[in-house]
């Protein structure tokens, strides 16, 4: 066993900085909207601060718990079962904006799809650790490994939430590839999923409109292309140094969801290119330290767990920022640690607590 050391201070520090930036930007992006809707500009930031406190407590506790405790079928299978039940319950709850993504318990809302991502990583890390020698066995390894992912993806698509379903699919593919699976199986999976993806993108009217708006937002600047154009205006008007904290204008009922999906646009407008690069740099640092832990881990379970946690965060950050700067169509994926959202913040911080525990045993 590797000599036990302290947790990765870089990873711990970057996480705290991103949480603080998130709280500051959630307040800036939501204050006017919160005042109009709830009578207090502090509505969203107070809730996010509570979620951050819960998440930081979870992270602090979990980084002291030996990660090997999760390497147990008595932990893994109940986690998968509970997550599946939560996803099913969300589907029968009252919809919000046409989607069944949340379980509402009074003033508290739980988003099961945010729980599904770390639980999927946990399952794959446990399942694949002893099967690298038989990774190309389709019936014995690939299919059983993919079944929970396919189940989660199907339930998440039903919500509907194509963005999160794609994150689950990409993370599953990356972990299988890391385990040594032949690339030809990734090709087969891509071919098999192509008709489904085509149907979801081009046969669902509102998604097709999103694609067309992405390709030519100027064709309908006050309709389908409004969100993309307003986001690009926010990014462009920020310049090098930005307009100043709290001084952004696009969040004043122009920018859609400025405290969640488009919070990076508000960062770019108020903090400029320098602030945007700082946030990107922090995510790159987080990714580097997480991947370093995965590479240096001698335990296959720890390696898969660290890689899965890190890659999930990086994929989400990449998609969110890419949407804001119009590199990809709108997907509804939040920016980890920064966007408003209690379930996401708590479970991302909890996952990072597990990752920090893994870093205790790498040089």
Do residues 52 and 286 make contact, with C-beta atoms less than 8 angstroms apart?
no
Instruction: Dihedral sign for Cα 318, 319, 325, 326, please.
Output: positive
314 φ, ψ to 5°? -70, -40
CA nearest neighbour of 142 among 175, 116, 168: 175
- Strand segments (E) across the chain: 103-105, 108-110
- Taking only the tens of pLDDT, the chain with its 363 residues reads 445 568 999 999 999 999 999 999 999 999 999 999 999 999 999 999 999 999 999 999 999 999 999 999 999 999 999 999 999 999 988 777 677 888 887 777 889 999 999 999 999 999 999 998 889 888 899 999 999 999 999 999 998 888 899 999 999 999 999 999 999 999 999 999 899 888 888 888 888 888 888 888 887 787 788 888 999 999 999 999 999 999 999 988 888 888 999 999 999 999 999 999 999 999 999 999 999 999 999 999 999 999 999 999 999 999 999 999 988 888 778 999 999 999 999 999 999 999 999 999 886
Q: Is 157 exposed, middle or buried (0-12, 13-18, 19+ CB in 10 A)?
A: middle
- How far apart are alpha carbons 159 and 173 in whole angstroms? 22
Which residues have a Cβ under 8 Å from the Cβ of 199 and sit 6 or more positions away?
A: none
Residues 6 or more apart in contact with residue 328 via CB below 8 angstroms: 214, 319, 322
341-362 per-residue burial string, b: 16 or more CB within 10 A, e: under 16: bbbbbbbbbbbbbbbbbbbbbb
Cα(182)–Cα(126) distance, rounded to whole angstroms? 20
- What torsion, rounded to 10 degrees, do the Cα atoms 46, 50, 52, 57 define? 160
DSSP string, 228-262: HHHHHHHHHHHTTT-S-TT--STTTTTSSSTTTTT
Q: Which of 255, 259, 90, 105 is nearest to 160 (CA)?
A: 90
pLDDT (0 to 100) of residue 4: 54
Judge contact between 244 and 270, C-beta under 8 A: yes
**Domain boundaries of the chain, sorted by first residue:** 9-359
Q: Cβ–Cβ contacts within 10 Å for residue 284, how many? A: 14
Output the pLDDT for position 196.
87
Note if the bond before 260 is cis, omega within 30 degrees.
no
pLDDT of residue 296: 94
């Amino acid at each position: 066993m590797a000599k036990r050391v302290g947790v990765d201070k870089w990873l711990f520090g970057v996480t705290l900085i991103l949480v603080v930036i998130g709280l500051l930007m959630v307040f800036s992006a939501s204050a006017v909207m919160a005042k109009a809707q709830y009578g207090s500009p502090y509505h969203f930031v107070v809730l996010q601060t509570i979620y951050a406190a819960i998440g930081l407590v979870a992270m602090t506790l979990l980084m002291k718990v030996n990660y090997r405790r999760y390497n147990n079928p008595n932990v893994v299978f109940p986690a998968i079962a509970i997550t599946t039940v939560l996803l099913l319950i969300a589907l029968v709850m009252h919809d919000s904006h046409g989607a069944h993504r949340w379980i509402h318990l009074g003033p508290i809302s739980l988003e099961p799809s945010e729980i599904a991502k770390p639980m999927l990583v946990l399952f794959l890390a446990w399942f694949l650790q002893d099967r690298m020698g038989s990774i190309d066995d389709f019936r014995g390894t690939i299919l059983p490994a993919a079944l929970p992912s396919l189940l989660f993806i199907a339930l998440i698509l039903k919500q509907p939430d194509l963005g999160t379903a794609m994150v689950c699919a990409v993370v599953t593919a990356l972990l299988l590839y890391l385990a040594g699976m032949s690339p030809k199986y990734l090709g087969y999976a891509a071919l098999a999923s192509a008709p489904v993806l085509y149907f979801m993108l081009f046969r669902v009217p509102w998604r097709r409109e999103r694609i067309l708006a992405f390709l030519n937002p100027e064709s309908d600047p006050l309709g389908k292309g409004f969100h993309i154009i307003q986001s690009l205006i926010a990014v462009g008007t920020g310049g090098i140094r930005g307009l100043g904290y709290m001084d952004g204008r696009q969040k004043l009922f122009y920018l859609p969801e400025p405290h969640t999906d488009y919070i990076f646009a508000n960062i770019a407008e108020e903090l400029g290119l320098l602030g945007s690069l700082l946030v990107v740099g922090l995510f790159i640092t987080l990714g580097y330290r997480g991947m370093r832990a995965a590479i240096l881990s001698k335990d296959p379970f720890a390696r898969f767990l660290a890689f899965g946690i890190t890659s999930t965060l990086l994929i989400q950050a990449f998609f969110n920022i890419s949407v804001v700067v119009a590199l990809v169509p709108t997907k509804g994926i939040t920016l980890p640690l920064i966007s408003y959202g209690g379930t996401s913040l708590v479970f991302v911080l909890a996952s990072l607590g597990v990752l920090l525990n893994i870093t205790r045993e790498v040089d």
